[in-house]
Structure 1
Amino acid sequence: MARNGVRVVLDPEGIKEVLRGPEVRAQLDAVAEEMVALIRARGLRTRDGRPLPVEIIAEDSTDRAAVTVAIPHPAGVGMEARHGVLRQAAQAAGLTVIGLDPHRKARTQSRKKRRKKRKR
């Protein structure tokens, strides 16, 4: 890529190395721990009175460092649907959350149609 006489060459292997590096992993772990603390602070409980279980799962099989914060309990789906437990914790931890928007597919399709009309 050249702009104003400056040429930038991306190094895919170097980018992979950074994304798999300990600094990125530490940052992800910190955000995941913050999310877990925020969820536990809400004091949500399952029907049997136990605290809602929340866990962090390290994703080592991807091309970059990744973690998943999960509620490994059948009540987890209902808690997320009813209370937005994971979504709210992610937002409070500073993440941008793009959830399931039922209208998103329709908007995307509309954009594609408009682009096709412009090309004609």
Structure 2
Amino acid sequence: MKAFEDFRVDRAGVAELLHSEGFRDAVQAVAEEIGATARGAGHRVTNGDPLPVDVFADPNHDRAGFTVAVRHPAGIGMEARHGVLKRAAEAAGLTVSGLEADEV
């Protein structure tokens, strides 16, 4: 495309953006929203406690990042059976893709 012939990526500018406080705050806000939605789904582990959903910062040198995780043995089963985190991420407006049953 002619419009992109002289296009150059400003790598220093992109790096500055990915390390900025505003970008970090925006990513954290979405991660917290996903965590709150997943917690609000009301899933419980075997002993009756709420399914623990954690949001934590990822130590990464090239950009700000956060992880939303179920750090509990029941987490894998809850995700496989109910899609707890996938549904929460989709509710936040994110597109989630990965291994689907029909791709196996």
TM above 0.5, yes or no, is yes
Highest RCO, 1 vs 2 (Cα 8 Å, sep ≥ 6)? 2
* Structure-2 separation of matches of 1:61 and 1:34: 21
* Structure-1 separation of matches of 2:4 and 2:61: 36
Q: Is it true that 1:83 corresponds to 2:90 in the alignment?
A: no
Listed as ranges, the matches of 1:31-42 within 5 Å are: 31-42=30-41
Q: Residue 6 of structure 2 aligns with which residue?
A: 7
The 1:103–1:62 alpha-carbon spacing in structure 2 relative to 1, beyond 3 Å, is: farther
Listed as ranges, the matches of 1:83-102 within 5 Å are: 83-101=82-100
**Which has the larger Rg?**
1
Q: Structure 1 vs Structure 2: percent identity of aligned residues? A: 47
Equivalences, count:
104
Q: Equivalent residue of 1:29, what SS?
A: helix
* Structure-2 separation of matches of 1:95 and 1:34: 11
* AA partner of residue 25 (structure 2): A
* Structure-2 separation of matches of 1:98 and 1:5: 29
* Structure-2 separation of matches of 1:4 and 1:84: 41
In structure 2, runs of 5+ residues without a counterpart are: none
* Structure-1 separation of matches of 2:20 and 2:59: 12
Normalising by structure 2, report the TM-score. 0.87
* Structure-1 separation of matches of 2:42 and 2:64: 30
In structure 1, runs of 5+ residues without a counterpart are: 106-120
Q: Residue 27 of structure 2 aligns with which residue?
A: 28
Q: Equivalent residue of 2:16, what SS?
A: helix
Q: Residue 58 of structure 1 aligns with which residue?
A: 57
* Structure-2 separation of matches of 1:77 and 1:103: 19
* Structure-1 separation of matches of 2:99 and 2:51: 23
* AA partner of residue 89 (structure 1): A
Listed as ranges, the matches of 1:99-110 within 5 Å are: 99-101=98-100, 104=103
* AA partner of residue 15 (structure 1): V
Normalising by structure 1, report the TM-score. 0.77
Deviation at 1:103, TM superposition (A): 5.0
Give 4+ residue runs of structure 1 displaced > 2 Å after superposition.
Answer: 2-9, 101-105
* AA partner of residue 19 (structure 1): L
